[in-house]
Chains A and B, each alone.
Chain A
Amino acid sequence: MADPFGLLAELTYRCPLSCAYCSNPLNMAEYTDELTTAEWQRVFTEARDLGVLQCHLSGGEPLLRRDLVALVASARDLGLYTNLVTSAVGLTRDKARQLRDAGLDHVQISIQADAPSLSDTIAGLPSFRRKVDAMRVVKELGWPLTVNVVLHRQNIDRIAEILDLAADVGADRVELANTQYYGWAWRNRDALLPSRAQLAAAEEVVRSARDRLAVIYVVPDYYSEYPKPCMGGWAARQLTVTPNGDVLPCPAAQSLPLPTASVRTDSLAHIWAASPVFTAYRGTDWMPDPCRGCDRREVDFGGCRCQAFQLTGDAARTDPVCHLSPDHAVVTDAVAAANSAVDLTLIPRPHR
């Protein structure tokens, strides 16, 4: 068992936006008893002692935590690389200055499209102009900025324009991440999954933009031959702490029928080493066929446990995205549906 490198601190699931592709859990009401400032500070210390080097402050919208500046300062004082993952709603110039003074290393701002009408429709809130203003503030303060766009059927045709916008605000990096179908995105999958023609066009635009911008492109795994090496293997590199203190190997793992581990009852070190939610699929011993005998078992680690559970009801099966999976038809069916007529109606994520 190696030591974890990263902590994803999901400070709150509250969010001013209501994006239908959100990967937050469907049962958000169970996460309203949020950790206190002191509890988060203890989590950061325990994480650092466990070997964690990076702290991603995410949510929901982390700016809704009134103690965000104090939390950044604590994480930074421990030597952690601090990354704020934000919608930028609430990132005023004054707040940005406070965060920079607290030592925040990096800011990632999401945007939903390249223009106000589509971006605001997807976000469910007039927010486009505020986001672009916040991006400019981040750059004015001399900070590194990553612009993040979650791609799906309803915005993927706008990548060229999105990249122009990112270049215009001076983004250092652009992350174009095809939707991962967990939480609310799973509920809206059929209206979000792009067509094969849309993907081919998008990938061409990305290829030609690579000389002028640092573009990170996260492929849509439904269209891949092999599954994604989810989290670099179960419980191998990162841990997630949810707003109420549950500890998970990845943010989607709350959906699995495994006993809960919480920082309110156990130390992070004990949870990482010994809790069933971390040990269940660590390594390769749990693997069924065809993963067990596959050359790629330590390349993609059997894919994603949460996706296997979602699509087959059994988290220990091969990720059905893999063309070798006996359940692969559930993925090819969804892909076939995405390449015919699609109902684009989306169910917005609630704010809390």
Chain B
Amino acid sequence: MSRPQLARHCRLSFDRTRQRPILLLPETVVVLNTTGAAILERCDGRHTVDEIVADLGEAYREVPGAEVQRFLDGMLDRRYVVMIDG
């Protein structure tokens, strides 16, 4: 089963000037919404997408699995997240 993990060059942080969660990268900053940040916080290489969706559901009530998958697909495309196998 593969498990998403934040890529090594990315760091999740909080921008106190703009009061938003952010993803820091070598040349860019991605300003995140709360849900995006909550998903990425859980991309630790130890939990599957299903487990992340379930965990988000506990924390936020309604988080559609398809939406989480779509967000992660975008992150994978940009290589901000990688899949760890096994």
Contact = CB atoms under 8 A, between A and B. Distances in A.
Interface of A: 3, 5-6, 50-51, 53-54, 79, 81, 83, 105-106, 108, 142-144, 146, 172-173, 214, 216
Interface of B: 7-9, 11, 13, 15, 17-18, 22, 24-27, 29, 79
For chain B, what secondary structure do more than half of its interface residues adopt (helix, strand, loop), or is it mixed? Answer: loop
21 contacts: A3-B18, A5-B29, A6-B29, A51-B15, A51-B17, A53-B15, A53-B29, A79-B13, A81-B24, A105-B11, A105-B24, A106-B9, A142-B8, A143-B8, A146-B9, A146-B26, A172-B7, A173-B9, A173-B26, A214-B79, A216-B27
Contacts of B27: 216
B74 to A, nearest CB: 15
B15 A144 contact: no
Nearest to B8: A144
Contacts of A83: 26
Most chain-A CB neighbours within 10 Å: which of B11, B13, B22, B27? B27
B24 A144 contact: no
The 7 closest A-B pairs by CB, nearest first: A144-B9, A51-B17, A81-B24, A144-B8, A214-B79, A106-B26, A5-B29
Given A53-B29, A83-B26, 5 more contacts: A3-B18, A54-B29, A105-B24, A142-B8, A173-B9
B7 A144 contact: yes
Contacts of A216: 27
Most chain-B CB neighbours within 10 Å: which of A81, A108, A142? A81
A53 B8 contact: no
B9 A53 contact: no
